[in-house]
Amino acid sequence: MQPLLFLLIFVLFQEDEAGKIIGGREARPNSHPYMAFLLIQSPEGLSACGGFLVREDFVLTAGHCFGSSINVTLGAHNIRRQEGTQQHITVLRAIRHPDYNPPPVIQNDIMLLQGDSGGPLVCNNVAQGIVSYGSSSGNPPAVFTRIQSFMPWIKRTMRRLSSRY
């Protein structure tokens, strides 16, 4: 399924924009404990992505956030500081959607990360999308993968992998 195009603001880490919030405001500390920060090691170097906890042992993120090593941090308000609320999760397995296509096509840009039980599942808000790509300036357009379209795959994959342990 093609990623869904929304005209929303999208922030990529840029030298001059790093740490800035574009079109929004800083969240109250620890108000979104299900949000995940991903640090990815790949042959191209280090990169960062976001994701969120969908169960105590699964994080949902974009398929292009794949790497040889993925470190997940939950409970961070400021990722540049060590905070007592942070939890570091060991990723046991990264499972891209079976029909994932990399750039320049970018289709089915969604991935589940299976880790150890890193903490409670707290999802009062409803997740709608995973950022696929957008303008590095933070201006529209931005492209998001619609999570709802992948719910059968997400549930099937989590069920299959959970039965192995």
- What are the sequence ranges of the domains in the chain? 4-16+33-162
Cα separations in angstroms, 41 against 13, 34, 47, 49, 71: 16, 22, 7, 11, 9
Give yes or no for a contact between 138 and 100, defined as CB atoms under 8 angstroms apart: no
Active site residues: 64, 109, 117
Alpha carbons 14 and 20: distance in angstroms, whole number: 10
Q: In what order do the strands lie in the sheet with 129-134?
A: 4-6, 142-146, 129-134
Tell me what pLDDT residue 119 has. Answer: 38
Alpha carbons 2 and 88: distance in angstroms, whole number: 32
Spatial neighbors of 121 by CB under 8 A, at least 6 apart, are 34, 53, 54, 55, 56
Chosen CATH of 4-16+33-162 out of 3.40.50.2300, 3.40.640.10, 2.40.10.10, 2.30.22.10: 2.40.10.10
Element (H, E) at 145: strand 142-146
Tell me what pLDDT residue 130 has. Answer: 59
End-to-end CA separation in angstroms for the chain: 31
Q: What share of the chain is helix, strand, coil (3-state, %, to 5)?
A: 10, 35, 50
At residue 10's C-alpha, the angle toward residues 32 and 23, to 5°, is 75
Mean pLDDT by 10 residues, the chain (165 residues): 27 40 77 89 92 87 94 88 82 94 91 69 49 53 69 89 70
DSSP state at residue 138: S
